[in-house]
Amino acid sequence: MTLHEYLHVFREAIDKIDRYGYAESVDLHQELRAGKQAFLQVTVVLVDGSSLHIKEYVDAMYGIEKVSYGYQYQDVRGDVIFRYDNAAHKPSLNRKEHKHTKSRIIEISPPDIADLVDEIISYL
**pLDDT value of residue 89:** 73
Q: How far apart are CA 104 and CA 26, in angstroms?
A: 29
Among residues 18, 54, 25, 48, which one has the least CA distance to residue 124?
A: 48
**pLDDT value of residue 111:** 93
**pLDDT value of residue 92:** 67
**pLDDT value of residue 87:** 85
The whole-number mean pLDDT for each consecutive block of 10 residues of the chain, a chain of 124 residues, reads: 94 96 96 94 98 97 93 96 87 77 89 96 92
**pLDDT value of residue 18:** 94
